């Protein structure tokens, strides 16, 4: 009986030792904020993003209200951005917004606002897909110009704005072309005229002129078609789209040029209100 109790005691002791030994402390938790920041920077430079993120997050948590902590939080956001991919870009955006909410007057605020635009811009879809992220990216870049017009990121934001606006214009053009192909001429005209009005800096206006002119022709608006085709020839004489101008626009102004021909197109106008 005594042997049995003795054996049981040894087993319990071994179990206790085993359980205690299983609780290994994370070595990162033993680091000071400065040590964690230094090691986090080294890991980030080596593109070890997960390790860098853990170190930098620890540095921020240890010293959240210091310059060192602010730097660590910003670098933690950078780890998500640099790692890339849809999920990481979403996380990066959240981290940058967290930084801006905590430290709106930081010297790094212009950079953070610019990075918000980059996170959204890199998540944009092809021009023939939904462009909600593209619109948000445009707004984020415009905030750089509004809030930090003299910062070094203002010029870079302007470049990105041009690219983003081109993407949005291309999307609107493709929607207009889609409507034309399906015989929804009023909708096509509205979209294509909108491109010329809202995106005057669009880099491919020649193809918009052609497609808009074709839409006018289909809608029976021959005078408008003639005028837009003339504009295409005048502004883009070397454009490959010039050769695609319909014959009716090569001579005189075609029919009377009245707008009555557009009545047929109005039959599909209810569909024009649908979003592209």
Among candidate residues 76, 110, 112, 117, the one with its CA nearest the CA of residue 97: 112
pLDDT, averaged across the chain: 85
- pLDDT beyond 50 at 269: no
Of 7-11, 16-20, 217-221, the range with the highest mean pLDDT is: 217-221
- pLDDT beyond 70 at 249: no
In this predicted structure, which of 50-59, 129-138, 192-201, 254-263 has the lowest mean pLDDT?
A: 254-263
- pLDDT beyond 70 at 251: no
Mean pLDDT (whole number) for 188-207:
97
Whether the CB-CB separation of 259 and 189 falls below 8 Å is answered with no
- Which burial class, exposed, middle or buried, applies to 73 when counting CB atoms under 10 A from its CB (0-12, 13-18, 19+)? buried
Mean pLDDT (whole number) for 200-206:
95
Mean pLDDT (whole number) for 242-269:
54
Q: What is the largest CA-CA distance in the chain?
A: 119
Domain boundaries, the chain: 182-272
Q: Which residue has the higher pLDDT, 129 or 53?
A: 53
Q: Which two tokens stand for residue 33?
A: 């904020």
* Percent of the chain scoring above 90 in pLDDT: 72
Q: Which two tokens stand for residue 26?
A: 């994370």
pLDDT given at position 130: 74
pLDDT given at position 25: 83
| Rounded Cα gap, residues 38 and 41, in angstroms | 5
The helices-and-strands tally (H runs, E runs) of the chain is 12, 0
* Residue in the structure block whose two tokens are 């004489």: 237
- Read off the pLDDT of residues 147-161 as tens digits, 9 standing for 90 and up: 999 999 999 999 999
Q: Nearest-5° angle of CA 248, CA 251, CA 255?
A: 55
Query: Residues near 274 by Cβ (< 8 Å), separated by ≥ 6?
Result: 187
- Read off the pLDDT of residues 159-174 as tens digits, 9 standing for 90 and up: 999 999 999 999 999 9
Whether the CB-CB separation of 127 and 154 falls below 8 Å is answered with no
Whether the CB-CB separation of 255 and 222 falls below 8 Å is answered with yes
pLDDT given at position 128: 67
- Read off the pLDDT of residues 100-134 as tens digits, 9 standing for 90 and up: 999 999 999 999 999 999 999 999 877 767 788 89
Query: Residues near 107 by Cβ (< 8 Å), separated by ≥ 6?
Result: none
- pLDDT beyond 70 at 142: yes
Mean pLDDT (whole number) for 201-219:
96
pLDDT given at position 232: 97
Using DSSP, state whether 58 is helix, strand or coil.
helix
pLDDT given at position 275: 46
| Rounded Cα gap, residues 186 and 241, in angstroms | 22
- pLDDT beyond 70 at 214: yes
- pLDDT beyond 80 at 259: no
pLDDT given at position 135: 92
DSSP annotation of 267: G
């Amino acid at each position: 009986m005594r042997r049995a109790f003795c054996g049981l005691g040894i087993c319990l002791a071994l179990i206790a030792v085993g359980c205690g030994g299983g609780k290994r402390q994370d070595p990162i938790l033993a680091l000071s904020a400065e040590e964690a920041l230094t090691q986090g920077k080294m890991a980030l430079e080596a593109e070890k993003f997960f390790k860098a993120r853990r170190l930098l997050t620890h540095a921020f948590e240890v010293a959240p209200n210091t310059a060192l902590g602010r730097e660590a939080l910003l670098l933690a956001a950078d780890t998500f951005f640099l790692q890339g991919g849809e999920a990481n870009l979403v996380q990066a955006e959240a981290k940058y917004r967290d930084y801006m909410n905590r430290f709106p007057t930081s010297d790094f605020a212009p950079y953070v606002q610019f990075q918000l635009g980059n996170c959204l811009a890199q998540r944009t879809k092809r021009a023939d897909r939904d462009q909600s992220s593209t619109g948000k990216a445009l707004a984020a870049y415009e905030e750089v110009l509004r809030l930090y017009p003299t910062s070094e990121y203002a010029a870079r934001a302007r470049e990105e704005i041009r690219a983003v606006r081109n993407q949005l214009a291309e999307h609107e053009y493709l929607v207009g072309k889609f409507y034309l192909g399906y015989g929804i001429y009023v909708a096509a005209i509205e979209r294509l005229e909108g491109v010329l009005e809202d995106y005057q800096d669009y880099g491919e206006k020649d193809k918009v002129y052609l497609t808009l002119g074709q839409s006018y022709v289909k809608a029976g608006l021959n005078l408008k078609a003639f005028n837009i085709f003339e504009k295409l020839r005048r502004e883009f004489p070397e454009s490959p789209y010039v050769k695609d101008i319909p014959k009716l626009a090569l001579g005189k102004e075609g029919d009377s040029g009245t707008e009555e021909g557009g009545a047929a197109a109005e039959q599909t106008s209810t569909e024009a209100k649908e979003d592209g």
